[in-house]
């Protein structure tokens, strides 16, 4: 089995494109997750060259070292965590969920992530939550209270404060003027 760690996989379309690239090279992955592809057999040199060059043409990057791979796993987990249709369960600590998912101590993950990304996991999570809130606001299907609940905020005010810090406007202002300027 081969594990290929890929940077810049951020959505389900990315997973689809990556799966297609592998299958066009007659390599049929067992698993395609954000940031990770597992194949049943090792890739030979020719398969690697074909797949890696096509992935790079689509804007993906193959991660070679363990640190990059772990950071990619963290980002992938955060993306999956926020893509759920169900509201985030705030009774479970995110740090515990992340550590369990990746199989490493949270302190180790936190230090590694901070060194690589020059921000904490929590800061990155907040940025991603605000990005998700922006998307939900632009869809105009949920009110701000429902969005706060969906993203695991303790209150609308908590969401509003973080949103304003990141975007410079409140969620209400963002929705009112549209997201074209942000």
Q: For residue range 22-35, list pLDDT tens digits in order.
A: 999 999 999 999 88
Give the pLDDT mean for 72-95: 88
164 phi and psi, to 5 degrees? -65, -40
Tell me: pLDDT of 8 over 60. Answer: yes
Tell me: pLDDT of 179 over 60. Answer: no
Could you tell me which residues come within 8 angstroms of residue 23 by beta carbon, excluding any fewer than 6 positions away? 29
Tell me: pLDDT of 17 over 60. Answer: yes
Q: Which of the pair, 42 or 121, is modelled with greater confidence? A: 121
Q: For 139-161, how does the pLDDT look when each residue is reduced to its tens digit (9 = 90+)?
A: 989 999 999 999 999 999 999 99
The mean pLDDT of the chain is 91
pLDDT at 59: 93
Tell me: pLDDT of 121 over 90. Answer: yes
Sheet of 2-7, strands arranged across = 31-33, 36-39, 2-7, 61-63
pLDDT at 63: 83
**Three-class SS of residue 33?**
strand
Tell me: pLDDT of 181 over 60. Answer: no
Using the structure block, give the residue that is written with the tokens 């993950």.
109
Q: How confident is the model at residue 65 (pLDDT cuts 50, 70, 90)?
A: confident
pLDDT at 60: 92
Domains of the chain: 2-64 (3.30.70.100), 68-177 (1.10.10.60)
Spacing of C-alpha 151 from chain mean position: 14
């Amino acid at each position: 089995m081969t594990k290929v760690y890929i940077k810049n996989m951020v959505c389900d379309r990315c997973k689809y494109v990556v799966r297609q690239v592998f299958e066009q090279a007659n390599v049929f992955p067992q698993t395609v997750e954000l940031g990770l592809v597992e194949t049943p057999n090792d890739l030979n040199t020719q398969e690697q060259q074909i797949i890696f060059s096509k992935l790079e043409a689509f804007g993906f990057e193959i991660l070679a070292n363990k640190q990059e791979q772990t950071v990619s796993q963290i980002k992938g987990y955060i993306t999956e965590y926020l893509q759920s249709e169900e509201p985030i369960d705030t009774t479970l600590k995110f740090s515990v969920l992340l550590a369990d998912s990746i199989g490493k101590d949270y302190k180790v993950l936190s230090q590694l992530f901070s060194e690589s990304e020059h921000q904490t996991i929590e800061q990155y999570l907040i940025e991603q939550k605000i990005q998700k809130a922006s998307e939900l606001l632009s869809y105009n299907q949920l009110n701000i209270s429902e969005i706060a609940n969906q993203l695991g905020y303790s209150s609308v005010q908590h969401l509003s404060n973080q949103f304003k810090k990141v975007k410079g406007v409140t969620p209400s202002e963002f929705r009112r003027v549209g997201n074209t300027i942000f």
